[in-house]
Structure 1
Amino acid sequence: MRLRLPEERPTEPPTGYKIAHPVLSQDGTRAGFTGVSLGGALPYGVLADAACVYGLRHRAPHRRCDCGFHCVHDRTAAEALLCTAEHRAAVLLEVAVLGRFIRFERGFRYARQRVRTATVGPCACGTVAAALADAGWGRPGWRALAPSCAGCVRGRTSVSLAAFARLAGEGLRVVAGREGARKVADLGTSPDDLGVPELVAEAALLQARLDWFQTQLARLREPGAGGGGQG
């Protein structure tokens, strides 16, 4: 007699946590994520279906394969993955587990997901992130992004957290971590006010870009700048 795993039919989609790298399409019109391990070469959107990364024709997740989306039950376990050097620039995702899934001790392997919230960590300099900027690597047609403060954006391709959420669509929320919420409060604004944190981040990002352009213009106006010939 062949034993079968018990079937679950939850009334609401289970919640899981995972980490991923945010990505921006080459033309800047779409946003999504790419995984940090299996399937990392295939960027996905906020609402996405899994496929077998080995090219097999079975439906994901298959019991005899390791295909499908992966997540863990515990938020703390996902946050711990952000401590490793190669994952420092990744973001924490809260996802709804949809469709067929296989439950494990620490998480799920499943067929479909909706990313509800993306929590962005601090900039590499330690300051709370105001934007997601070009990380210097990517996938064909996609630029990987990393958290950046307003002062470190400079001339890199970047989008604010609110702009990334708009491009990704499907009701995605993109927020700075707890440290970011405290610093927004220090500015005299309440993080609970609708739209205020996003507007503050947008303003800081625009100011940083303006400062960078003014610096470049000042250099061009210096005597001998611009390569003009004499004579």
Structure 2
Amino acid sequence: MRLRLPEERPTEAPTGFKIAHPVLSQDGTRAGFTGVSLGGALPYAVVADASCAYGLRHRAPHRRCDCGFHCVHDRTTAEALLCTAEHRAAVLLEVSVLGAYIRFERGFRYARQRVRAATVGPCVCGAAAAALADAGWGRPGWSALAPACAACVRGRTALSPAAFARLAGDGLRVVAGGGGPWGGSGSGGPAPAAGRGVPAGPGVRDGAGSAVRADLGVPELVAEAALLQARLDWFQTQLARLGEPGADGSARG
């Protein structure tokens, strides 16, 4: 007799938690995440379908394979993973488990997910993060990002959390470790973004070239201002260096 797993038919999608690294596409028009373990080579969007990481043609999650998205039931368990050295720069994701799934004691392995919220931790220096900046590594076509404070951004490619939320789309909320939201929409619907039929209004442009709307809330504007100030400080430092005697390669007197 063939054994079958018990079936569940929940009235609403289960919630899970996981950690991942935020990523930015090479052309700067898309944002997403990449995992920290088995599926780390395959960046995914806010709403995504799983595929077998081993290249097998069965549908994920297969009962005799490790494929599929993975998450844990408890937020505290996911937060504990951020304590390890290799995961300090990752962000905490709150996800909706969609499609077929297999329930385990500590979590799910499942076919489809929606990332509802991403919680950004502090900068490596310990200060509150004002941006997601180039982490110095990535995947083909994607650059990994890491939380960075205004002072540590310097000349690196960076996005404010609000800009990352807009590029990721599908109603993603990016939340500060202290609880303040950036970007997304409070109702859970997609946040308006320039270039999709919604006028951007007057504003500045972030590192990916996306227009920053003029109707942002206070937390978003604070993050944008901190990022702009960091870039201005870096620019002034470079100007001062170029103005020093001998900075152009000529001999000092």
Residue-by-residue CA offset, 1:30-52 (whole Å, 9 max, x unaligned): 10000000010000000000001
- Write out aligned runs for 1:140-179 (5 A): 140-178=140-178
Aligned pair partner of 2:223 in 185, 201, 207 = 201
Q: Which residue of 2 aligns with 1:11?
A: 11
Structure 1: stretches of 5+ with no match in the other structure = 182-193
User: Which structure ranks higher in relative contact order (CA pairs < 8 Å, sequence separation ≥ 6)?
Assistant: 1
Give the CA RMSD over aligned residues. Answer: 1.5
Q: Which residue of 1 aligns with 2:238?
A: 216
CA contact (8 A) 1:129 1:180 kept: no
**Structure 1 residue 224 displacement after superposition:** 2.2
Q: d(CA) in 2 for partners of 1:224 and 1:178?
A: 46
CA contact (8 A) 1:93 1:117 kept: yes
Q: d(CA) in 1 for partners of 2:2 and 2:173?
A: 44
- TM-score calculated relative to the size of structure 1: 0.91
Q: Which residue of 2 aligns with 1:90?
A: 90
CA contact (8 A) 1:134 1:157 kept: yes
Residue-by-residue CA offset, 1:127-152 (whole Å, 9 max, x unaligned): 01010001111101111111000110
Q: d(CA) in 1 for partners of 2:217 and 2:97?
A: 28
Residue-by-residue CA offset, 1:172-227 (whole Å, 9 max, x unaligned): 0011102778xxxxxxxxxxxx7211110110110010011011011111222223
Which letter maps to 1:42? L
Q: Which residue of 1 aligns with 2:38?
A: 38
Identity of aligned residues (%): 87
**Structure 1 residue 229 displacement after superposition:** 8.3
Q: Which residue of 1 aligns with 2:20?
A: 20
- Write out aligned runs for 1:130-145 (5 A): 130-145=130-145
Q: d(CA) in 1 for partners of 2:3 and 2:241?
A: 74
CA contact (8 A) 2:47 2:113 kept: yes
Which letter maps to 2:112? R
Q: d(CA) in 2 for partners of 1:216 and 1:202?
A: 21
Q: d(CA) in 1 for partners of 2:236 and 2:76?
A: 43
Q: Which residue of 1 aligns with 2:102?
A: 102
Structure 2: stretches of 5+ with no match in the other structure = 182-215
Which letter maps to 1:10? P
Q: d(CA) in 1 for partners of 2:30 and 2:69?
A: 21
Q: Which residue of 2 aligns with 1:185?
A: none
Q: May I ask how many residue pairs the two structures share in their alignment? A: 218
Q: d(CA) in 2 for partners of 1:124 and 1:167?
A: 24
Q: Which residue of 2 aligns with 1:184?
A: none
Q: Which has the higher helix share?
A: 1
The DSSP-based 3-state class of the residue aligned with 1:36 is coil
Residue-by-residue CA offset, 1:6-37 (whole Å, 9 max, x unaligned): 11111110000000000011111110000000
- TM-score calculated relative to the size of structure 2: 0.83
CA contact (8 A) 2:180 2:219 kept: no
The DSSP-based 3-state class of the residue aligned with 1:67 is coil
**Structure 1 residue 119 displacement after superposition:** 0.2
Q: Which residue of 2 aligns with 1:188?
A: none
